[in-house]
Structure 1
Amino acid sequence: MKTFNDKGIKIEMVQSQIETNGLLTLLKVSVQPNFENKKHIHSNLTETFKVTDGTIKLRVGEGVICLEQGEAFSVNAGIPHHFINDTDKNVSFLVCVMPGSSEYEDLILNGGDI
């Protein structure tokens, strides 16, 4: 399993776009307390975040969505977004990217933003 681990974030590849015939890329993400990634945009990918442990905030466009364990939210292509763990506990979530993308996978596993 491919993994990236650095500066408060750990990302594990669960399913690659090759394994799903390009349908999706599935990642398991764990972030430490007070971690925030950079605001960014994916021009042709939709990301769905599903929290598996803890609480995470998604800043999507001009709004903020708070997701707790078991809740999910999709960010459509072209929408600026980033996530924030402003709690004092680790947070884990799944990220499903559609369609799957080898470029996205390479970027993420080399330290790029989800």
Structure 2
Amino acid sequence: MSVLGVRVRLGAGGTVDDVRALKAWLEREEPLAELLSKQKLRIEAQTSTDGTKGRLGPDLELVLKLLGDVVTVAALTEYTARAVKAWANNRRRLQGGDPQPQIRPLDTDGE
């Protein structure tokens, strides 16, 4: 069975704390919060399998998996991109730097 969703990876400026903060932000952001409350979406932090060469420590990313056909991947990508942009702007204002988030659809096997 194919897994539909999106992957959010932070660039070299991102930290483990950033991943946690972004996950919390996404969990509160409408309409993602609504999908979570209806158990139609799962957000997982995981170690990236194709990490950046030469970077110390694990590459962490967030994976948002759809658990039903309630929205399309395109809609989920749009919701996620809006939320990530708001989070990144907020982080930049409070802490400086740019975590350079990247968002892309999951491959059909969920990877």
Per the shorter chain, which TM-score range? 0.3 to 0.5
**Larger CA Rg, structure 1 vs 2:** 2
- TM normalised by structure 2 equals 0.35
More strand by share: 1
Higher relative contact order (CA 8 A, sep 6+): 2
